[in-house]
Amino acid sequence: MDKTVGELAKRGFWSVAPDDPVDAIAEEMVARRLTWAPVLDGGSLVGVVSAWDLLHLRARGQSGDTPAWRACTYKPLTVAPDTPAAEAARVMRESHVHHLLVMSAEGKIVGIVSPLDLLAERPS
């Protein structure tokens, strides 16, 4: 029986605020060994910011004081907690993303699922 992303998702995750400066976000990503973080405003999803977004911003000559909301990707891919793991894997593969936000019906983040989370539950 296929597990759902709600069962596999990481519950504790690091997030950033819309006004956090991108240089501070980059430093924290390096320290935490992360490549991606949700951007939340009072618990509501604004978007996601990735290391790629930050590199792209800096390559365009933007300041390290630029706020996260100017660098983030809006409307990131999300899945419901009852989404089968196999479906989440298909979405990741076809969309070329490495994380999916697991969102409740109320629009709150339940957790984050990555390919490693899905591989850990793969039958042997």
Where do the domains of the chain lie, and which CATH numbers do they carry?
5-120 (3.10.580.10)
Residue type, 77: L
Q: Which of 1-10, 47-56, 64-73, 96-105 has the lowest mean pLDDT?
A: 1-10
Q: What is the per-residue pLDDT for 107? A: 86
Q: What is the per-residue pLDDT for 124? A: 52
Backbone angles phi, psi at 100, to 5 degrees: -130, 140
Q: What is the per-residue pLDDT for 1? A: 44
Residue type, 101: L
- What digits encode the pLDDT tens for the residues 8-31? 888 888 999 999 999 999 999 999
Q: How much is the pTM?
A: 0.84
User: Alpha helix locations (H) across the chain?
Assistant: 5-8, 22-32, 51-59, 68-71, 85-95, 115-120
Strands 78-79 and 100-103: parallel
Please give the DSSP secondary-structure letter assigned to residue 93: H
